[in-house]
């Protein structure tokens, strides 16, 4: 898929390289052309000089065919404005913004825009949201057979109960992260927009589980 990244700092360049290595096409935007020096010599993606909230710049970066948008510049305001333009103007649902101020992050979560912070953790968490099938378990038991893992549940599950999701996928939901708070759900807890779902499962079952949480979207697309 095509992914547009705003900000060619340490996080942006790291994400660009990882995503390209995974076979995705990437366009990276930065207002400072010198920032592109962080990209390796063999980087094949598009480099676009400009502001990520400028519509013409986004179009040049291929936003109209993009599956995801990432805002990781050094400014909170630029990141959130760019993320909102990508979602509200161009209809990109898979949007992630880096926010330094945790007080602001909670507000933006309510707008339905996932926010993350810090460099390596940011790159890892964005990969979890952009490429859920490639996410790494957060914890393993000593035998390595049982894992606690974060899964990105398809938007078609929003409004459904935890019990319905567990019944359809055969997964055990350990807890939800909702606007910065951890929630231990009941069977009738309703999944909300922006919820991050954490499951406990056998490591051998994770591939099946990841397939199951996107199966509903595939069925609904027909």
Q: pLDDT tens, 15-45?
A: 999 999 999 999 999 999 999 999 998 999 9
Closest-CA residue to 115 (of 196, 59, 185): 196
Residue 136 confidence class, pLDDT cut points 50, 70, 90: low
The C-alpha atoms of residue 11 and residue 19 are separated, in whole angstroms, by 12
Q: What is the CATH number of domain 134-220?
A: 3.30.70.1450
pLDDT tens figures, 140-185: 776 778 888 888 788 888 899 999 999 988 889 999 988 778 899 9
- Predicted local distance difference test score (pLDDT) of residue 222: 41
Q: Do residues 27 and 45 lie in contact, with contact meaning Cβ atoms separated by under 8 Å?
A: yes
pLDDT above 60: residue 221: no
Closest-CA residue to 66 (of 54, 78, 74, 58): 58
Closest-CA residue to 174 (of 127, 130, 139, 214): 139
Q: DSSP of the chain, one letter per residue?
A: -EEEEE--SHHHHHHHHHHHHTT-EEEEEES-GGGGGGS-TT--SEEEES-TT-HHHHHHTTGGG-SEEEE-SS-HHHHHHHHHHHHHTT---EEEEE-S-HHHHHHHHHTT--EE-SHHHHHHHHHHHH-GGGPPPSEE-TTSSEEEEEE---GGGTTSBHHHHHHHH--EEEEEEETTEEE---TTPBP-TT-EEEEEEEGGGHHHHHHHHHHHHHHHT-
Q: What is the CATH number of domain 2-130?
A: 3.40.50.720
Closest-CA residue to 168 (of 124, 220, 92, 204): 220
Residue keyed to tokens 């790291």: 14
pTM for this prediction? 0.57
- Predicted local distance difference test score (pLDDT) of residue 216: 63
Q: Do residues 159 and 190 lie in contact, with contact meaning Cβ atoms separated by under 8 Å?
A: yes
State the Cα angle at 177 between 127 and 209, rounded to 5°.
Answer: 60
pLDDT tens figures, 109-131: 666 677 765 544 556 566 666 76
37 token code pair: 């020096």
Q: Residues of CATH 3.30.70.1450 domain(s) within the chain? A: 134-220
Q: Do residues 15 and 7 lie in contact, with contact meaning Cβ atoms separated by under 8 Å?
A: no
Q: Residues of CATH 3.40.50.720 domain(s) within the chain? A: 2-130
Closest-CA residue to 83 (of 43, 208, 105, 153): 105
């Amino acid at each position: 898929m095509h992914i547009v990244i705003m900000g060619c700092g340490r996080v942006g360049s790291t994400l660009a390289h990882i995503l390209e290595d995974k076979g995705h096409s990437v366009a990276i935007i930065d207002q400072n052309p010198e920032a592109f020096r962080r990209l390796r010599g063999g980087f094949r993606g598009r480099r676009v000089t400009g502001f990520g909230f400028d519509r013409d710049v986004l179009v040049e970066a291929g936003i109209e065919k993009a599956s995801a948008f990432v805002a990781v510049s050094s400014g909170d305001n630029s990141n959130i404005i760019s993320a909102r333009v990508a979602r509200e103007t161009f209809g990109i649902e898979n949007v992630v913004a880096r926010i330094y101020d945790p007080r602001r992050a909670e507000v933006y979560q309510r707008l339905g825009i996932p926010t993350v912070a810090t460099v390596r953790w940011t790159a890892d968490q964005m990969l979890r949201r952009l490429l859920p099938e490639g996410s790494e378990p957060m914890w393993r038991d000593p035998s390595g057979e049982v894992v606690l893992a974060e899964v990105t549940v398809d938007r078609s599950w929003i409004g459904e109960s935890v019990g319905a999701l567990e019944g359809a996928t055969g997964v055990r939901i350990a807890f939800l992260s909702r606007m910065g708070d951890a929630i231990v759900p009941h069977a009738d807890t309703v999944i909300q927009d922006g919820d991050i779902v954490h499951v406990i499962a056998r490591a051998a079952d994770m591939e099946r589980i990841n397939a199951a949480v996107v199966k509903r979207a595939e069925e609904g697309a027909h």
